[in-house]
Amino acid sequence: MTDDKYILDKDKNIIPVELMEWANWFEDNKNNKHVRWTTIKKYNVDISTVFLGMDHGFSIGGGHTPVLFETMIFWNDAHDLDHYQERYWTWSQALEGHRETVRKVIQYIREKEEKGEKIIIRQRKSVEDHMEGMLKAIDSISTELVDPNTPMERLQKSLMSVAKIYRAAIEKRDS
């Protein structure tokens, strides 16, 4: 049994799985990985919380609770909070962390407005820009996913599935 690949059951419980089951689950569960997505349209800021499916507790060492969820702020490089991230162990922690991050952004906006500081509002990146970033991320983690026993076509198909999910989320958000 692998110790760094996970899926969610229907009740959002975390289940450790082997690579092929993980890849199949990610392909078949395109709509089950987003915990929350919040957009503050007036300021073109997005807060996204997702299930990662892979342990991102890299610096913790073995025997730790897997870090499987992540919240990020996307503000088109316009503010200190752009690309801010927090990571969590459970769905409920991720949900609460998302709420807290939304509060953090709102507080940041209020403080800037109270001081009379201008809040930079940049045009949203295009879907192509987002896809380029996502494809770079996929490329950088693909070396971790390669297992000599995994058919390359299956791995590529799974990675492309992740890219399609991301594109669908961006298109839905921008519509």
Checking if the pLDDT of 89 tops 60, the result is yes
Residue 145 domain-assigned (yes or no): yes
Checking if the pLDDT of 65 tops 90, the result is: no
Q: Determine if the pTM surpasses 0.75.
A: no
How many Cα atoms within 13 Å fall on the side-chain side of residue 17? Answer: 17
Task: Give the residue-averaged pLDDT of 97-121.
Answer: 90
| Cα–Cα nearest to 99, from 35, 165, 33 | 35
Question: Per-residue confidence at 1, pLDDT binned at 50, 70, 90?
Answer: very low
Judged against a pLDDT cut of 90, whether residue 95 lies above it is answered with: yes
| Number of domains the chain is built from | 1
Q: Is pLDDT at 158 greater than 90 in this prediction? A: no
**Of 94, 111, 101, which is closest to residue 33 (Cα–Cα)?**
94
Establish if 1 belongs to a structural domain.
no
Q: Is the pLDDT of residue 153 over 70?
A: no
Q: How confident is the model at residue 47 (pLDDT cuts 50, 70, 90)?
A: very high
Q: Domain containing 66: what range?
A: 6-174
Instruction: Report how far residue 16's alpha carbon sits from residue 68's, in angstroms, rounded to the nearest whole number.
Output: 11
How many whole angstroms separate alpha carbon 119 and alpha carbon 175? 24
The region, left, alpha or beta by phi > 0 then psi within -120 to 50, assigned to residue 67 is: beta
